[in-house]
Structure 1
Amino acid sequence: MMFDFSSVIEILPDLNKSFFQTLYMVGVSLAAAIVVGLPIGIVLFVTDRGLFLENVAVKNILGFVVNMIRSIPFIILMVLLFPLTKMITGTTIGPTAASVSLSVAAIPFFARLVEQALREIDKGVIEAAVSIGATPWMIIKDVLLPEAKPGIIQGINITAISLVAYSAMAGIIGGGGIGDLAIRFGYNRYDDTIMFTTVVILICLVQLIQYGGDFIAKKVDKR
């Protein structure tokens, strides 16, 4: 493998642009995952058997939809969502267009992580809240979310890292970001230096996200 760092210097403006495109895609889709996926995860948990909002029909239907979307490989999901992406953004290429499919992929992924975090709560705490007459909203707001906060933050962390990988795949069909740069300037031009540089950048980004998420989760964990 031959390394020519002059090629990296030549594409520094493109590299800088691609990096911020990746941050943009991850940021937009992560925000969508939190805003939409968090309520879905809560509903999946509280409608389960034996809980205060038990509803088998809602649980099964919502669970089926979540599992169905999660089972579709991301690259295929992007293609399937082209009509929706075109309708929302007016185009099927670029970071904004890629953010649509990234959001759709991230929402059910994060919802399951939220559900899992809620399942780790001691059932006795929930039963105690129910016994004193707390409303479902009060239980969710004052018991479930505070108790599951560290797990939810870790879920955000895991989702963000997964979105970095997904955003790189979006480059295959012109989604922009680091992945698109790696394909256009690295793979298509057989430039090992650029390929290596993009991989290092993605690794560093993932490490920063992991470290930041772990730090915050430890800070909020009062157990």
Structure 2
Amino acid sequence: MIHMLNTTDISKLSEAVFETFNLLFVSAIISIPIGLVIGITLALYEKKIFTKNRYLIYILSSLVSIIRSIPFVLLMVIIIPFSFNIFGTSIGFIPSIIALSIIGIATVSRLVEQAVIDINPQIYDLTRSLAATKFQLFKDFIFVEARSSLILAFTSSLVSLLAYSSVVYIIGGGGLGYTAIQIGYYSPVGNSLMWASTIIMIFIVQVIQILGNIFSNYLNKKKRGH
């Protein structure tokens, strides 16, 4: 399909790829660290490692569940007034990043929570017997035991963010979704552009998934080697 594109289409496609990577990078930078902290906190509370702030944990868990229950298109619409009141804009990059980051945090939180919960329960008993601090618990036990699962969780989160980024064109976010649908599908001469955008999205997803699997398998073998 690429050879059927003219110079203008290739320029639009290149710009869309840049916009997509920009959306993915910024939203991942925001959502992965925050989601990691929330996910670990929820998991350790469930494992009764954290026993304080019960109401705060309940609120966090409920918010994560509610956000994941809202269709992403509706979430973007809900974000518009907030973005306008705080940042003075209701369309474009900023509201798109806000929406992607919110759904990203919720997604990462749940995947990280599950990865940490799945750790061998004896690890938690060991940390209690050694009177390990919360930092030592994470650094010396959780990180070592769950790191391969965490990489897979981050990989799945990135794939999800990429999928969500394909619809932020609705609020002016641009990206490959815009070239595939607005310029490609709705244009009588945009069929090639639509297919090219779709193929690029598939390629990006496969690269993310393959790299995530390779890194996860490497860490898993390294853990077993020790």
TM-score of the superposition, structure 1-length normalised?
0.91
Question: For the Cα contact (< 8 Å) 1:34–1:110, is it kept in 2?
Answer: yes
- Equivalent residue for 1:188? 186
- Equivalent residue for 1:51? 48
Separation in structure 1 between the aligned mates of residue 219 and residue 5 of structure 2, nearest angstrom = 44
Give the 5 Å matches for 1:141-180: 141-180=139-178
Quote how far apart the aligned CAs of 1:35 are.
1.6
Which stretch of the first structure deviates more once superposed, 51-60 or 105-114? 51-60
SS in 1 for 2:19: helix
- Stretches of structure 2 that go unaligned for 5 or more consecutive residues are none
Separation in structure 1 between the aligned mates of residue 78 and residue 101 of structure 2, nearest angstrom = 14
- Equivalent residue for 1:212? 211
Quote how far apart the aligned CAs of 1:10 are.
2.5
| One-letter amino acid of the counterpart of residue 78, structure 1 | M
Quote how far apart the aligned CAs of 1:203 are.
0.4
Which of 79, 97, 100 is the aligned partner of 2:98?
100
| One-letter amino acid of the counterpart of residue 61, structure 1 | I
- Equivalent residue for 2:60? 62
* 1:65-92 per-position Cα deviation (integer Å, ceiling 9, x unaligned): 1100110000110010012223454323
- Equivalent residue for 2:136? 138
- Stretches of structure 1 that go unaligned for 5 or more consecutive residues are none
Question: For the Cα contact (< 8 Å) 2:185–2:194, is it kept in 1?
Answer: yes
CA gap 1:151/1:172 in 2 versus in 1, 3 angstroms: same
Separation in structure 2 between the aligned mates of residue 113 and residue 162 of structure 1, nearest angstrom = 12
TM-score of the superposition, structure 2-length normalised?
0.90
RMSD (Å), alpha carbons: 1.8
Question: For the Cα contact (< 8 Å) 1:171–1:183, is it kept in 2?
Answer: no
Which of 17, 20, 42 is the aligned partner of 1:19?
17
Percent identity of paired positions between Structure 1 and Structure 2: 34
CA gap 1:64/1:4 in 2 versus in 1, 3 angstroms: closer
Quote how far apart the aligned CAs of 1:116 are.
0.5
